Amino acid sequence: MATETRDAATEDKGKPAKRKRTSPILFIRQVVGELRKVIWPTRKELINYTVISMVFVLVMIGIVSLFDWGLTKGILALFG
């Protein structure tokens, strides 16, 4: 782990535990180790996820735009 959050010696005395800092090299090694565990999407999955995300964003833009347009028309009709 990158930092120690509890120390058995300080925990018994009721004092707050001191955190140890790791070296940058150890941090990089841990990052690389975690990235090796990642299951990366295939090209087909990546394209599929991108298309789905873009469609969702476009639908949300449409909904918000219609809501904004309706509120604008209502406010202008009310206050002239």
Extents of the domains making up the chain: 1-38, 41-80
Q: What is the pLDDT of residues 12-58, one digit of tens each?
A: 566 677 778 889 999 999 999 999 999 999 999 999 999 999 999 99
Cβ atoms of residues 19 and 3 within 8 Å: yes
- pLDDT confidence of residue 54: 98
The three-point CA angle 30-21-10 to 5° equals 120
Distance of CA 3 to the CA centre of its chain: 22
pTM for this predicted structure: 0.56
Flag whether pLDDT at 4 surpasses 60: no
Flag whether pLDDT at 9 surpasses 60: no
DSSP 8-state symbol, 43 = H
- pLDDT confidence of residue 20: 83
Query: How many whole angstroms separate alpha carbon 35 and alpha carbon 52?
Result: 25
Query: How many whole angstroms separate alpha carbon 33 and alpha carbon 66?
Result: 47
